[in-house]
Structure 1
Amino acid sequence: MGCTPVVRGFLNITNEACIELVNQAALLFNSGVRSLVSHDSDSLRSHMPDASFVYVNSYKIIWDMLHHPKKYGIRETGRACCEVSPGGVLCQKEGPICSDRTKYVFFDGLHPTDVVNARLARKAYGSNSPKEVYPTNVKKLAML
């Protein structure tokens, strides 16, 4: 995703903007992954005939949180909760960490905070929107 602090930092973007070229690459990749789990896809089925798959559109779910932060109680969408090593992804060893992780989308330069991960899990389990989970959600998959 072109909105992560590491991508924005690598390209020296200091405002809240996302890098559209990276976003487009992520969307293209996700489209390919979604087609792999389609009921019509024989690619995975030929190798794993008894398997069932669910595609969770984490991009869309995180995008919504980034663009509607107040709806989720988030204050910071562009910076990491921790101090990231220069040019790095992970938190700096023994570096400062924000006081309230629930107000951030990203914990470090790449990874979402627990509040974002919890939302992803809830959507994966219970969403009925094919734009968020496809071809079904985890709850329905578990009942098969």
Structure 2
Amino acid sequence: MVRALEYKFKLHLTFDKREQACPRLNYNKHLQITETWDSAIYGQNLYGLGARRIGVTTLPPTGCLPAAITLFGAGTNHCVARLNKDAISFNNKLNRTSQNLKSKLPGIKLVVFDIYQPLFDLITKPVENGFFESRKACCGTGMIETSFLCNARSIGTCSNATNYVFWDGFHPSETANEKLAQSLLEQGFELIS
């Protein structure tokens, strides 16, 4: 499976006197990203080598990651709309590019797995989805709530990770991943039919 996050795109900081600095996708790079995606499937000959079933994931709601809220939320506990808008823009371009590839490559089954909406739903409706906390991570210390040393015995780790949407500032918890996996499996039936 090709992942959208594997594509290299550069962020640049936009400074606004009214708002805190917030990274934004460089829109000039979006064309390069979709060209790279097109090239990865077609130009680099995956299709020519026989690849006919390909899946790619969209970007998640990056503005709702606990680390993004901490760093760019300007003191609020809300998703950073600008980051989510950029992720949606990227995902729309990825979908259009994928549709274009489907139309020009006979026999290809190309699925864009939407991770954005299922994760956004878990974050914005935690109680309805069986969670207690969706803005703060279970594991982590300091401002960003993430650590490469996170484990169940780390100082500051919550006592019940199943109550949290996020394990650390960037990664969903195991329970959230189980719910996300179910959604992705349902979307992937086209690849196996």
TM (normalized to structure 1)?
Answer: 0.75
Identity of aligned residues (%): 25
Question: Which protein, 1 or 2, shows the higher relative CO under an 8 Å CA cutoff with sep ≥ 6?
Answer: 1
Work out the CA distance in 1 between the residues paired with 2:103 and 2:82.
29
Residue 32, structure 1, aligned to residue 93, structure 2? yes
Count of matched residue positions in the alignment of Structure 1 and Structure 2: 129
Indicate conservation of the 8 Å contact 1:82/1:92, yes or no. no
Match status 1:42 vs 2:101: yes
Letter in 1 for 2:136: R
Task: Give the CA RMSD over aligned residues.
Answer: 2.5
Map of 1:1-144 to 2, 5 A cutoff?
1-11=62-72, 13-38=74-99, 41-42=100-101, 51-87=108-144, 89-92=146-149, 94-126=154-186, 137-143=187-193
Q: Which runs of 5+ in 1 are unaligned?
A: 127-136
1:35 deviates by 1.8
Rounded Cα–Cα distance in structure 2 between residues aligned with 1:109 and 1:44: 39
Deviations 1:51-110 (A, max 9, x none): 532112211111111121111111101111102454574355543321111111111111
Tell me how far apart the structure 1 counterparts of residues 127 and 145 of structure 2 sit (CA, whole Å).
28
Aligned-partner SS, 2:165? strand
List gaps (5 residues or longer) in structure 2: 1-61
Indicate conservation of the 8 Å contact 1:84/1:91, yes or no: no
**How far apart are residue 42 of structure 1 and its match?**
2.9
Normalization by structure 2: what TM-score? 0.58
Higher strand share: 2
